[in-house]
Amino acid sequence: MRKRKVPDVVINRLPLYLRVLAEIDAEQSPIISSFELGERTGITPGQIRKDLSFFGVFGKQGVGYEISTLRVELCRILHLDRVVNVGLVGVGKLGEAFLRYGAGRQREVLNREGLIIKAAFDQDQQKIGRRIAGVEILPVEQLPELITQLRLSIIILTVPAGVAQSVFDTCVASGIKAFLNFAPVKLQIPAGIRVHHADFTLQLESLAYYS
């Protein structure tokens, strides 16, 4: 049987389902219906059932989903059933804010799902060796060898636009296939590499339409 291609929009919704399931005490409430999951996520029950059907049959009609089982399956699908080490490149104001923001509740959520911010990188010698929210700042010149040594799988780019492409290329050459890019620049992305862009300016400008 030919395997169905899973749309990106479906993959993007899975972490939302996982977050909701993680916040429920599975011992007190072991079962959740697609209707209840829909109320908690803002996604229709029909869409939830359709999303999950790409990966198998996890619930029982008229009963719902066993929370502990569905959570394990979603972690497996998202590859969060293993530790995923993350690196951040560019410890300017945005990079530092990101590290500090992730030090509290958000860091707990990431760690719970196996996502570990392992190290940060910068070219400023005055920053090298410092720790921000427990994350050590390392020399960006050593990025290729440290990507391998620290077993990094995802890179967050918070570098200036002018150097984003070169840093991105270095990471790709070192085996990184997944990026979260905050640099306001269009990257030249080779096949097989996944980049999610987070551009605050574009988001605010689009929100202005609704203001």
Q: Where are the domains of the chain?
A: 8-76, 84-205
Q: Residue 94 pLDDT > 50, yes or no?
A: yes
* Region 76-86 average pLDDT: 91
Alpha-carbon gap, residue 24 to 40, rounded angstroms: 11
DSSP secondary structure, 44-69, as one string: -HHHHHHHHHTS---EETTTEEEHHH
Alpha-carbon gap, residue 66 to 71, rounded angstroms: 9
Alpha-carbon gap, residue 211 to 208, rounded angstroms: 5
**pLDDT reported for residue 107:** 62
**pLDDT reported for residue 1:** 41
Token output for 205: 């400008």
Alpha-carbon gap, residue 192 to 176, rounded angstroms: 10
* Region 2-15 average pLDDT: 85
Q: What is the pairing mode between strands 84-89 and 59-60? A: unpaired
Residue 3 pLDDT level (bands cut at 50, 70, 90)? low
pTM metric for this prediction: 0.84
The contacts of residue 153 (CB under 8 Å, 6+ apart) are 84, 85, 86, 176, 177, 178
The count of residues in the chain is 211
The phi-psi region of residue 62 (left if phi > 0; otherwise alpha if psi is between -120 and 50; otherwise beta) is: left
Residue 2 pLDDT level (bands cut at 50, 70, 90)? very low
Token output for 118: 């392992």
Return the CATH number of the domain spanning residue range 84-205.
Answer: 3.40.50.720
Residue 29 pLDDT level (bands cut at 50, 70, 90)? confident
**pLDDT reported for residue 105:** 57
Alpha-carbon gap, residue 154 to 95, rounded angstroms: 15
Q: Residue 4 pLDDT > 80, yes or no?
A: no
Residues 36-52 have pLDDT tens digits of 999 999 999 999 999 99
Alpha-carbon gap, residue 32 to 62, rounded angstroms: 11
Residues 146-196 have pLDDT tens digits of 999 999 999 999 999 999 999 999 999 999 999 999 998 999 999 999 999
Residues 105-154 have pLDDT tens digits of 566 666 666 788 999 999 999 999 999 988 999 999 999 999 999 999 99
Token pair 């995802």 is at which residue? 154
- Residue with the larger pLDDT of the pair 94 and 204: 94
Question: Cα separations (Å) of 206 from 108, 183, 199, 200, 203?
Answer: 31, 18, 11, 10, 5
Assigned fold of 8-76:
Arc Repressor Mutant, subunit A (1.10.10)
